[in-house]
Amino acid sequence: MRPGARVRLDRCDPDDTSAVHGSKRRAEGECDRLAGRLKHLQELLYADHRRSILIVLTAIDAGGKDGTIQHVFEGVNPQGVSVAHFRVPTADEAAHDFLWRIHPHTPGKGEIAIFNRSHYEDVFVPRVERLVPRHVWHHRYRMINEFERTLVLEGTTVLKFFLHISEDEQKARLRERLNDPTKHWKFSAADVPTRRLWPEYQAAFEEMLPRTSTRWAPWYLVPANKKWFRDWVVSTVLVETLEAMDLRWPPLPAAWKGVEIR
Ligand code: ATP
Ligand code: MG
């Protein structure tokens, strides 16, 4: 998303797969190739130890954050990759500023950190659930932009993906959680009341996306009804980002040249 560009989510087709010419087989083949590249590049990022990547995943309930993490990072060495899942703030977290619990989970040099939900919850949930006055969450757009700018200036590339699904797709996925015994555990009592707030959440997303799509950390708006397409988009952006980083294997220090191992 271009910085500041307005978006109407009801005009963005969550089934759109045209970027990969609509072919699932082609996307899946491409994902296998990307997984191989990602495995190599992640090791290189770790060894190079100069840069880092923060991946922020945002979506409505059942939007596919967990599935994206599972599929895109399949086969990657878990050393050097972390996942932080941000849930309802604890009493201690709620007693601090909203970024207090976020910052310790940002990636160190050489690392990739994945945020399953993030600081962005703090502009939607309090707004939609009317937990605090408008000015409290509204100031947070600026604070988020400045926080991300700090990370970027210090060597972290911030990749933000908004997974866009339709209301019908959410219904199908929530029903599956109730019907499939292997998915019961994913169902949360909050899913039902939150689903009733669908329009309010969409409005909150439509305001957040242009306000926080910046030159240094733009959003990728991902049509996400089709899981294979969503995974292909995220893998492609991630691999292209790593390829462009000019990562290098660190050379042997001069003092170690000619050292013999006996
Ligand atoms: P899934 O999308 O698969 O259901 P999940 O991320 O919703 O997974 P849960 O444990 O079901 O995981 O829910 C986490 C809950 O925490 C969400 O309802 C989310 O809105 C809430 N949450 C996260 N951050 C905040 C925040 N800063 N303020 C209030 N609620 C938050
Ligand atoms: Mg949930």
Give the closest residue (by CA) to ligand 1 atom 15: 87
- The structure's pTM equals 0.96
* Burial (CB count within 10 angstroms: exposed 0-12, middle 13-18, buried 19+), residue 121: middle
User: Residues with Cβ < 8 Å from 203, sequence gap 6 or more?
Assistant: none
Which of 69, 86, 88 has the most ligand 1 atoms within 8 A of CB, as the residue to mutate? 88
Cα(174) to ligand 2 centroid in Å equals 10
Residue 58 C-alpha to ligand 2 middle, in angstroms? 12
- Determine the pLDDT at residue 4: 84
For the structural domain made of 9-245, what CATH number should be given? 3.40.50.300
Series of mean pLDDT values for 10-residue runs along the chain (262 residues): 93 94 87 96 98 98 97 94 97 98 98 98 95 94 98 98 98 96 93 94 97 98 98 98 97 92 92
Four-residue CA torsion sign, 156, 161, 162, 163: negative
pLDDT value at residue 21? 81
Give the model's pLDDT for residue 102.
Answer: 98
The angle, 0 to 180 degrees and rounded to 10, between the axes of the packed helices 134-153 and 198-212 is 40
pLDDT of residue 44: 98
Give helix then strand counts, H and E, for the chain: 9, 5
Contact present, 210 and 5 (Cβ < 8 Å):
yes
Cα separation, 38 vs 33, in Å, equals 9
Confidence (pLDDT) at 75: 85
Domain extents for the chain?
9-245
